[in-house]
Amino acid sequence: MALLEIKTAGDPVLKKVCEPVQKIDKRLRNFLDDMYDTMIAKEGIGIAAPQVGESIRAVIVDVDRNDRKGRYDMINPVITFREGSVVDNEGCLSCPDLFGDVERAEKIRVEYISRFNKKKTLEAEGLLARCIQHELDHLDGKLFIDIAQNITRGKKNSEK
Ligand code: CO
């Protein structure tokens, strides 16, 4: 296990469109495990490869804060269906202490390759759908603060 350095807003790697992953091997799986450990250490629910300096299309989400059994490693993910719209408050490991309201699709379908090179389809809603959309934006060089409303510093709007 190794903890990786989180890149923060202003680092050019967060503005790049990431390249597709070409090779799914032990080295990539080790990197994904390091990403996951870094995310847990920072109490995040999602992380994208560019946030730790690798400009490749890989994200991990795990919105279950209690037992950490909801881990999804997504390689070359693509959202193929979106439905509805909902606004909620978000934060980001790359934007410490900032929170803001972001409109996202309520339900999505995402297709991706697993860490063991299997094609997967996941239908998601609620926080999981929000988190996936947030992480996939990172792969296209987008930060939530670029699209958020009512940005606040220090605490979530809902905790005001
Ligand atoms: Co983020």
Q: Considering its fold, how many domains does the chain have in total?
A: 1
| Residue 6 covered by a domain | no
| Residue 7 covered by a domain | no
| Residue 4 covered by a domain | no
Domain of residue 50 covers 12-159
How many angstroms separate the alpha carbon of residue 146 from the centre of ligand 1?
11
pLDDT at position 160, please? 46
Does the pLDDT value for residue 154 go beyond 50? yes
Share of residues in the chain with pLDDT > 90 (%): 91
DSSP annotation of 97 reads T
Selected catalytic residue, list 103, 106, 123, 135: 135
pLDDT tens for residues 37-62? Answer: 999 999 999 999 999 999 999 999 99
How many angstroms separate the alpha carbon of residue 43 from the centre of ligand 1?
12
| Residue 73 covered by a domain | yes
| Residue 43 covered by a domain | yes
pLDDT at position 69, please? 78
pLDDT tens for residues 121-144? Answer: 999 999 999 999 999 999 999 999
Closest CA to 73 of 45, 114, 40: 114
Task: Give the domain CATH number at 139.
Answer: 3.90.45.10
How many angstroms separate the alpha carbon of residue 90 from the centre of ligand 1?
9
| Choice among 23-27, 48-52, 64-68 with the minimum mean pLDDT | 64-68
| Residue 121 covered by a domain | yes
For 34, left (φ over 0), alpha (ψ -120 to 50), or beta? alpha
| Residue 134 covered by a domain | yes
Does the pLDDT value for residue 27 go beyond 90? yes
In the three-class reduction of DSSP (H, G, I as helix; E, B as strand; rest coil), residue 57 is classed as coil
DSSP annotation of 25 reads S
How many angstroms separate the alpha carbon of residue 56 from the centre of ligand 1?
15
**pTM score over 0.85:** yes
How many angstroms separate the alpha carbon of residue 79 from the centre of ligand 1?
17
Residues within 5 A (CB) of ion ligand 1: 92
Has 135 been annotated as catalytic? Answer: yes
Which pairs count as long-range contacts for 153-160, CB under 8 Å and 24+ apart, including other chains? Answer: 153/97, 153/98, 153/99, 154/97, 155/99, 156/89, 156/91, 156/99, 157/89, 157/99, 157/100, 157/101, 158/89
How many angstroms separate the alpha carbon of residue 23 from the centre of ligand 1?
24
| Residue 136 covered by a domain | yes
Q: What average pLDDT does this structure show over 26-34?
A: 98
Q: What are the angstrom distances between the C-alpha of 100 and each of 37, 41, 91, 107, 126?
A: 25, 22, 7, 20, 17
